[in-house]
Structure 1
Amino acid sequence: MATQYGIKFAVHLISNHFGNVVSKVCENLFHRGPLTLDQLIHYTELTKEQVKNSLLVLVQHNCAQPFVPDDDDVNNLKVRTQYVALFDNIIHRLRFPKFLETVSQRLDEECAELLDGLLRDGRLTLKQMVDRASQGKENAVDSKVVRELLCKLLTARFVERCPAPEPVVSTSFKETTIRKRGAKSAKIFVAPKTLEQCVLEAAVPRDAIRFSLTADMGLNVDEEKNSDDAQMNSVEENVEEEQILWRANFEEFIRHLRHKVLIENVRTQHDDGTAVVLRAVLEATKTVEKKVKMQNSVPLSLDTITTEVMKTDIGRAFTIDRIRASLSQLGCSGSSIIDDSYSIDLKKIIEQARNEEVESIMLKRYGKDAYRMFRLLSKDSSFLDTDKIAACTLVEPKKASKFLHQLWNDNYLHKETVTGVMVGKPSNIFLWKVNQPLLWINVLDEMYHAALNLSIRMAYEQEKNEELLNVPKDKLKEPGPLQKKYKRLQNVWLLLGASLMKLDDALMLFHDF
């Protein structure tokens, strides 16, 4: 979900990449919801030309989606296009280096170079990709080469056709979101869908079209036309293909990054062999996965899993008993096995990784005593009183009470107060519990706040050293004060950049996975 600091961070990213005018339009879309062009002009107090150009930039870079509410009278030409800001797509701009690394590892550097153009420039046609690939080169790049690279990216689903420009979306449903009353309340109201999700679902084409390179909607990237009619129409189809807009498929990249986190966490918790089995299960089911945040893996037979495991160098040494043992470590035992099919609880692996991340925050921020108390509460779903927590963690009751109230004030714990009687006098007994969903929202917002601060610091360093960055590189190689200053700036940038990328791993863990 888009938290308070999440929205501020998204607006800051837009400001860094496209300037203050575009970010002002984006900020209004976040705070006021979907708006028409006229409404944006009114709220932003910008000129019509400025707002139009800003919307074009946001749509071009997949940061906003236009749509038409179905309550407008289409037949009477009273259609009023509205625009919705796409929070996830804006935050994904932080992950472009990770997306490029994924393509370099899974495919090759040429595909990564083509993807880089789509990430930098947003939506491109095949002709624009060819023109971009030819820039700075003596000879123009053959369009067939670019077409083959695009075909590879489409087959891997790293690139997709752009969604419908203005889908008609029903706005008659009553939209609700997660409502937070603070960690002092245990009630959570979860909406099945938001308007943003409905707009995206209405705009995305079906898979047969979404990942098809050919102009003919019925063909896949690997199919060929053999009929005479197809040959006669080949020129027309080439023209149509050049008009198709393509963009990076963020959904597929997030799925790959999620799988990577799942595998690495299993490797840490168990061993390399169990990680190999999990990787095999995820590889075998990736073509049928429909959602990024799958609760469980698709059920597979032992034969299917074994076949996939044996495709790897390590897996060829595995016996069936070794694979069964790994599946048992992954939670596929007893009632989890139905008709010799195995399904892994992926949600449990992610939740465990989240708990470890929160516990790490506890240890660094509050110390060992608070960490032990929080760990005890996170592993127990029931309420515990202060005295029991103090006894179990070997912390003095007064000190335990102080830490627990501090965690409660910081929205890490949920508290219930029960009136009891001690020594003939009424007294309050405090009961404590970890409310995970609300806790994770709070932690996520804190992470967005930290990411915003890091990004602001990076922007400040760039602005402060603008003159230094304009100095010719030859002069910076010469020993002296300028070289020292430049090396210091490089070290600061590397440190801030690495910190931001590491923090983004945690952001994805709590928001995207």
Structure 2
Amino acid sequence: MTSPHGIELAVHLISTYFGDIVSKVCECLLRKGTLSLAQVRKYTEMKDVTVKNALLVLIQHNCVQAFNLQVSGGFGEAPKIVTQYMALHDNIIHHMRFPKFLAIVLDEFGKECMEIIEGLLQHGSLSLKLITDRYKDKHKANATSEENSTAAIVLHENFNKLAHARYIERCPAHEPFLPPEEDAPKKRTARSRMGDGPLTVEARALAAAAPMESLRFLVEVDACGNGAADDDDDSNKCPTTGIVGEKRKQPEAEVWATNQNKEILWRVNFEEFMRRLRHKACVSHVTTRLDSVAGIVLSAIFEAGRKEETKVKMEKTVPLPLETVFEEAMKSEEGRSLTLERVRASLVQLGCELPTIGIDETYSIDLKKIIDQAQAQEVESIVLKKYGREAYRIFRLLLERERLYDTDKISNTTFVEKKDALKILFQLWKDDFLHMERLGNDAAQKSEILLWKLNKRSLWEQVLDDMYHAALNLKLRLVHELEQAKDILRVLKGKTVGDEVMQKRKRVGDKWKVLESSLMILDDAILLFHDF
């Protein structure tokens, strides 16, 4: 269930990128849930062609997934196939993280690979031919045919690097068919599993649309990849769709991750970027809580186990031998001075039990515990700033031991006067931080006993919604500052710029940088509570 301010933030992002018409259609899907075209048209009160165009834009940019569903007809009518549309809230929020994605690729592979990712983020999905054409248009200044051919080969190599690193993937099927639930396969894959209950229609649709894992990152060698082929030669077009369709053996194979020219479409793989950001957050938390060596060792574990790790939210890292972790740690400049014993000690610091030293000495880190600790630390800081140090001590006690405590026990353990403790507890309860139970209040007892327990699940949801609200306010303030900057530039057009005006421009620029930085820091916290 998406939080109210989470929906408002997503709608604002869509409005900023694609305009009010597209955002109205997106908001309808976010608030009403999965709908057919007729239902979207009814709720938005817009023309059929306008709704279709808006949905195409959202699908192109991975914000909406369409799927075909068999529904029963009226009395005496045969079942019919209806196309349904569901909004992908997480993918919409990812638009806010595009600068982070680009920074990751720039740091790992350089500027040329970053430009490929930038094009995919800008256009949503592209074929390899369109990526090549985009590159040629950007770098065509006085280049010879030989230089163009060489550049295209380099581009294809960079494309292969990104696919191998799983930063890009083939697009899902445009409109996969969902058979009736009784006919659906019972096997639950890692990518389709959502909780312990039965799969929802939306989860089944995402699972049906996803490419086979063996094809998801496969870059086929064809004429489109060499960059030297004549674009107008039909014989050089990529004949890849048939291969994909044959392996899937589904009715919609002819539209599987392809455009009208039957070229395979590619998009940015958000899962991999979420995995890398999760790793970064874990390393940062461990470095702050323990020491820099523990951060180096954890980073080495992530790098060494990257190929084996396939899920974003793995609760534990891949088990690795001590020697493998040590060798990976030695590759970094900070880790060259480490000894084998120091690495082993850091692994114990990270929560690993010390195994019997020998051939089977392997280690695995509990990532869920690290994320839980980071979330708790974030909420603790909120309580400290909002309610004060005494409330912070009470909150920590209830967080560490998730059970019912009476007021006297809380007061004695945290060294807070009972009257003050009661006042703080009632304030936290009023703000839905705590759950309260009343005992007694009969003739045998002089007063009732109040029991308190942290309302963790609802509190975490409330904190996340507050973060979405704060992010929305920052985005709106950024828009306001941008409008102010435009007004200043409009006034300055054709005039001599004085010192006072230059200072005004500098102040606007400084505000923009502070707001952007604050938004990125806030987004780190949103990732921690929602995506990790």
In structure 2, the CA distance between the partners of 1:239 and 1:269, relative to structure 1 (3 Å rule), is closer
> In structure 2, do the counterparts of structure 1 residues 160 and 434 end up closer, same or farther at CA, with 3 Å as the change threshold?
same
Give the residue type in structure 2 aligned to 1:380: R
- Please point out which of 158, 161, 167 is paired with 1:149: 158
Q: Which residue of 1 aligns with 2:81?
A: 79
- Residues 420 and 329 (structure 1), Cα distance of their counterparts in 2 relative to 1, 3 Å cut: farther
1:108 is aligned with what amino acid?
G
Aligned counterparts, 1:320-469, within 5 A: 320-333=340-353, 339-420=360-441, 424-425=444-445, 427-469=447-489
Gaps of 5+ in 2: 183-194, 226-233, 242-257
Match of 1:161 among 170, 173, 178: 170
* 1:184 alignment counterpart: none
Residue 69 (structure 1) aligns with: 69
What percent of counterpart residues are identical? 49
Q: Distance in 1 between matches of 2:47 and 2:34?
A: 19
Q: Aligned with 1:306: secondary structure? A: helix
Question: Kindly tell me: are residues 91 and 326 of structure 1, through their superposed partners in 2, closer, same or farther at Cα, counting changes over 3 Å?
Answer: same
| Structure 1 partner of 2:231 | none
Superposed counterparts of 1:14-53, under 5 Å: 14-53=14-53
- CA RMSD across the alignment: 2.8
Within 1, Cα distance between the matches of 2:491 and 2:271? 40
Partner of 2:210 in structure 1? Answer: 204
Change (3 A) 1:139 1:129: farther
Letter aligned with residue 434 of structure 1? L
Aligned mates of 1:254, 1:473 — CA distance in 2: 43
CA contact (8 A) 1:5 1:449 kept: yes
Q: CA deviation at 1:71?
A: 4.7
Identify which range, 489-498 or 150-159, moves more after superposition: 489-498
Matched residue, 2:515: 496
**Corresponding residue for 2:245?**
none
User: Is 1:115 aligned with 2:121?
Assistant: no
Q: 2:326 aligns with which of 297, 306, 309?
A: 306
Question: In the aligned structure 2, how far is the partner of 1:305 from the partner of 1:197?
Answer: 36
Q: Name which of structure 1's ranges 434-443 and 152-161 shifts more when overlaid on structure 2.
A: 434-443
* Deviates further, 441-450 or 382-391: 382-391
For 1:171 and 1:463, the matched residues in 2 are separated by 51
- Distance in 2 (CA, whole Å) between partners of 1:507 and 1:246 is 27
Please give the per-residue CA displacement for 1:423-473, whole angstroms capped at 9, x wherever unaligned: x54532111122332221111111111111111222233345543355678
TM-score by length of 1: 0.86
- Partners of 1:435 and 1:380 lie apart in 2 by 12
Q: Secondary structure at the match of 2:285?
A: helix
Query: Is residue 70–residue 79 contact of structure 2 (8 Å, CA) maintained in 1?
Result: no
Q: Given that residues 125 and 171 in structure 2 are in contact (C-alpha distance below 8 angstroms), is that contact kept between their aligned partners in structure 1?
A: yes
CA distance in 1, matches of 2:461, 2:168: 31
**Distance in 2, Cα, partners of 1:309 & 1:91:** 34
Measured in 2, the distance between the counterparts of 1:193 and 1:315 equals: 45
Counterpart CA distance in 1 for 2:467 and 2:122 is 26
C-alpha contact (below 8 Å) 1:9/1:448 kept by paired residues = yes
Q: Distance in 1 between matches of 2:478 and 2:179?
A: 42
Q: Equivalents in 2 of 1:430, 1:24: separation in Å?
A: 48
* CA 267–430 in structure 1, closer or farther in 2 if over 3 Å, else same: same
- Which amino acid in structure 1 is aligned with residue 328 of structure 2? E
Q: CA 1:449–1:58 in structure 2 vs 1: closer, same or farther (change >3 Å)?
A: same
1: CA distance, partners of 2:416 / 2:503: 50
Query: Does residue 22 of structure 2 align to residue 2 of structure 1?
Result: no
List aligned pairs for 1:226-237, cutoff 5 A. 235-237=236-238
Whose relative contact order is higher, 1 or 2, with alpha carbons under 8 Å and at least 6 apart? 1
Q: Which moved more, 1:316-325 or 1:164-173?
A: 164-173
**Aligned equivalent of 1:88:** 90
User: Post-superposition shift, 1:68?
Assistant: 1.2
CA contact (8 A) 1:72 1:80 kept: no
Judging changes above 3 Å, is the alpha-carbon distance between structure 1 residues 469 and 16 closer, same or farther for their aligned structure 2 residues?
farther
Shift of 1:77: 9.3
> What is the identity, as a one-letter code, of the residue corresponding to 1:343?
S
**Residue 318 of structure 1, CA deviation:** 2.9
**Could you tell me which amino acid in structure 2 is paired with residue 487 of structure 1?**
K
The one of 277, 302, 307 equivalent to 1:282 is: 302
- Provide the residue aligned with 1:255 in structure 2: 275
Give the stretch that moved more between structures: 318-327 or 361-370: 318-327
Aligned residues between the structures:
479
Following TM superposition, by how much is the alpha carbon of 1:104 offset from its aligned partner in structure 2, in angstroms? 0.7
Q: Distance in 1 between matches of 2:356 and 2:115?
A: 44
Moved more, 289-298 or 143-152: 143-152
SS class of match (1:297): coil
- The letter of the residue matching 1:329 is Q
Task: Give the Å deviation of 1:123.
Answer: 0.8
AA partner of residue 370 (structure 1): A
Change (3 A) 1:320 1:488: closer
Q: Work out whether 1:292 is the aligned partner of 2:301.
A: no
**8 Å contact 1:171–1:195 — kept in the other structure?**
no
Distance in 2 separating the partners of 1:471 and 1:127: 44
